[in-house]
Chain A
Amino acid sequence: MSAREQRRIAAEARAGWLLSLPALLLLAVAASGPLLIMLVYSFLEPGQYGNVEWRFSWDGWFGTLFSRDIFDGTVQLADAHLTILWRSVKLALQTTLFTFVVGFPTAWFIATRPPRARAMWLFLITIPFWTNLLIRTVAINEIIRTEGLINKVLLGIGLRTTPLDMLYSDFAVFVGMTYVYLPLMVLPLFAAIDRFDMRLLEAGYDLYASRWKVLRRVILPIVRPGIVAGSILVFVPALGAYVTPRILGGGKNMMIGNFIELQFGQGRNWPLGAALSVILLVIVMAALLIYVRAANRGTSSHG
């Protein structure tokens, strides 16, 4: 390799770095900076009217799992915190699973349409992104609340004499999140199924596989990268969801996002909120690691 060529390659590498510099700077300042502040705040004392006192304390971290009785100072496990954490993980997992169960047939349907119809269906899938999340969630609220659309219909046609209580429950949050995150599952699944060679279906049937076996042994392993991508895109924001549980879950069906917000608001316990945020981050990172490992197994078998 000539010296000139080496210089050219080095220059190209520099140009690549320069081009990505704005994005890298933005990430460093806007993502890493706040995270660092969060980590530091979780080790400080809460201020009386919010904010923090610059004194080192474990109280924030202590408070994530335990509570101290105000009067006698005895230490107890903070059941409420664990309930909220568990509810968050459970609802996020349920949402991921259900969006997959509903999204897979949808993505399959779209991917097997003729090209023109496919573009139309994809366009329809993206329509919900046009409106604000808040408005969409309020719309769901309007449909399922006690005086809402569903109950009016049920009462109107006489299927029920008393309205169904659906709002302000885990179920309501689950319905809302499934609706909100469904497109995020469908789109990566569609991309994976679109690349799937449909001729492999005939090869599977020809080799004595039933429809179910073809799905399990041929289709699902091959589209796994799409399943993993869709699951990440749904699970991660679902776990930290704030607007949906706030509007559909009410005060008693909080998810961890709402609980964190509470600490920075009425709770006036910023260190606890910061510690909870770090815990959420760790859960998400652990989930991502598991997913990415699964994805690698999937892609390595593509060679």
Chain B
Amino acid sequence: MSKIAVEARNAVKAFGQGEHAVRALDDVSITIHQGEFFTLLGPSGCGKTTLLRLIAGFETPTSGTILLDGADITDLPPNKRPVNTVFQSYALFPHLTVAQNIAFGLEMLSRPRAEVAERVGRMLALVKLEALAERKTSQLSGGQQQRVALARALAPQPKVLLLDEPLSALDLQLRKEMQVELKRLQVETGITFVFVTHDQEEALTMSDRIGVMSAGKLQQVGAPRDIYTRPLNRFVASFIGETNFMAGQTVPGGVRLGCGATVDVVGTRPGAVTLTVRPEQVRIEPAGAGGIPAVLTSLVYFGTDTHCHLALSDGAEVVARVQNPTGGDVGLVQGQAVSLRFAPGAAQVLED
């Protein structure tokens, strides 16, 4: 697990020239381990696809180095890199059958005919498309095309599989199925997956580690749980899940909020700081229970839980998510005075 499969060192990619140059990738360094399901997560235009294309070889970095298994591949063309891509549009060859599409990479590598046939058969079984081997790709549904694209990219047994938002064209039901399927394929083949998505749920459910990107920079790298519970900065905290931000001042023993209450926090920074607390980590207790005094301004029913909007004494707004009891409501009414408490370790000091 600890061996490094892909590494980018100070990768910069600028498009355009001179003053109009746009830095799609701004000094990104990242290491992806062998056998890992690594996800690059970020909004569109954050540079995640550019980083993927640098690893695939479709773009060369303006500066910086790309390494594969420790070897510098920065200047290798895509056809010389043991890396395959699953494209967002699938890019299946329309003049070839399903089996011919899957065989393409192996044939280009001049593998013996028997080996190609054997591997194509195994790939078809892996993605459960044996029955459609002789079909033209245009006769397939979106989900089936997706599987062909996967099988085609996996067939040459690449060291790293790159996936460029492969699920974005599928409907919700199919997307959920393919998420499970992708994870299964990754475990079965043991190949390193680098997966690009803007969908935080996809990233959280499938990945071993996530790299969150914004504005051409890597904001945070970590396991899904770390990214969600310990966001480093405001962007990561707000992009993944919902959260509350609160301004405060660092004092001995915690952070003093605008309303005067002092809370225990994780992480320290001197001076004025921003705190983040996930809504499900905010507990509502009866008024006078010793927490932070607040008033319920509104309640929104969400099925599994209720979102309670609360105002603190200085006007700051906090959202708490309370799970609905079976068959009942949460027993709170608008305008009610309550007391708030954050779960231990829930309040996190952000870097900016």
User: Which positions in A face B, CB cutoff 8 Å?
Assistant: 197, 199-200, 202-210, 213, 217-218, 221-222, 298, 301-303
Chain B residues near A222 (CB, 8 Å)?
93-95
- With A206-B85, A222-B94, A222-B95 as contacts: A302 and B79 at CB distance below 8 Å: no
Q: Are A200 and B91 in contact (CB under 8 A)?
A: yes
Counting chain B CB atoms within 10 Å of each CB, the highest count among A213, A218, A301 belongs to: A301
Q: Which residue in B56, B79, B94, B96 is a CB contact (below 8 Å) of A208?
A: B79
Q: Are A209 and B108 in contact (CB under 8 A)?
A: yes
Q: Please name 11 further chain A to chain B contacts, defined as beta carbons within 8 Å, in addition to the given A203-B85, A302-B95, sorted by A numbering.
A: A203-B91, A204-B104, A206-B84, A207-B108, A208-B108, A209-B79, A217-B104, A301-B94, A301-B95, A303-B137, A303-B138
- With A199-B87, A203-B87, A303-B139 as contacts: A210 and B93 at CB distance below 8 Å: no
A303 and B95 CA atoms in complex are apart in Å by 8
Write the B65-96 contact mask toward A (1 if CB under 8 angstroms, else 0). Answer: 00000000000011110011101010111111
Chain A residues near B104 (CB, 8 Å)?
204, 207, 209, 217
What are 17 sample pairs from A and B whose C-beta atoms fall under 8 A apart?
A197-B89, A197-B91, A197-B94, A199-B91, A200-B93, A203-B92, A203-B93, A206-B78, A207-B156, A210-B79, A210-B108, A213-B108, A217-B104, A218-B93, A221-B95, A303-B94, A303-B138
Q: Are A301 and B108 in contact (CB under 8 A)?
A: no
Return the chain A residue nearest B77 by Cβ: A205
Q: Are A208 and B95 in contact (CB under 8 A)?
A: no
Q: Are B136 and A207 in contact (CB under 8 A)?
A: no
User: Secondary structure at chain A's binding surface: helix, strand, loop or mixed?
Assistant: helix
Return the chain B residue nearest A222 by Cβ: B95
Q: Are A301 and B156 in contact (CB under 8 A)?
A: no
A213 and B77 CA atoms in complex are apart in Å by 14
Chain A residues near B105 (CB, 8 Å)?
207-208
Chain B residues near A202 (CB, 8 Å)?
58, 78, 85, 87, 91
Chain A residues near B153 (CB, 8 Å)?
206-207
Decide yes or no whether B109 CB sits under 8 A from chain A: yes
Return the chain B residue nearest A196 by Cβ: B94
Return the chain A residue nearest B108 by Cβ: A208
Q: Are B136 and A303 in contact (CB under 8 A)?
A: yes
In the assembled complex, how far is the CB of residue B101 from the closest CB belonging to chain A, in whole angstroms?
A: 9
- With A199-B87, A205-B79, A207-B84 as contacts: A302 and B94 at CB distance below 8 Å: yes
Q: Which residue in B57, B77, B91, B96 is a CB contact (below 8 Å) of A301?
A: B96
In the assembled complex, how far is the CB of residue A281 from the closest CB belonging to chain B, in whole angstroms?
A: 33
Chain B residues near A200 (CB, 8 Å)?
91, 93
In the assembled complex, how far is the CB of residue B88 from the closest CB belonging to chain A, in whole angstroms?
A: 9
A204 and B93 CA atoms in complex are apart in Å by 9
In the assembled complex, how far is the CB of residue A147 from the closest CB belonging to chain B, in whole angstroms?
A: 51
Top 8 closest pairs, chain A to chain B, by CB: A207-B105, A303-B136, A203-B91, A303-B138, A208-B108, A205-B78, A301-B95, A221-B95
Q: Which residue in A199, A207, A221 is a CB contact (below 8 Å) of B152?
A: A207
A105 and B151 CA atoms in complex are apart in Å by 33
Return the chain B residue nearest A300 by Cβ: B136
Chain A residues near B137 (CB, 8 Å)?
303
Chain B residues near A207 (CB, 8 Å)?
79, 84, 104-105, 108, 152-153, 156
In the assembled complex, how far is the CB of residue A297 from the closest CB belonging to chain B, in whole angstroms?
A: 10
A208 and B109 CA atoms in complex are apart in Å by 6
Return the chain A residue nearest B96 by Cβ: A301
Chain B residues near A203 (CB, 8 Å)?
85, 87, 91-93
A206 and B91 CA atoms in complex are apart in Å by 11
In the assembled complex, how far is the CB of residue A218 from the closest CB belonging to chain B, in whole angstroms?
A: 6
In the assembled complex, how far is the CB of residue A261 from the closest CB belonging to chain B, in whole angstroms?
A: 44
In the assembled complex, how far is the CB of residue B225 from the closest CB belonging to chain A, in whole angstroms?
A: 33
In the assembled complex, how far is the CB of residue B104 from the closest CB belonging to chain A, in whole angstroms?
A: 5
In the assembled complex, how far is the CB of residue A142 from the closest CB belonging to chain B, in whole angstroms?
A: 45
Return the chain A residue nearest B137 by Cβ: A303
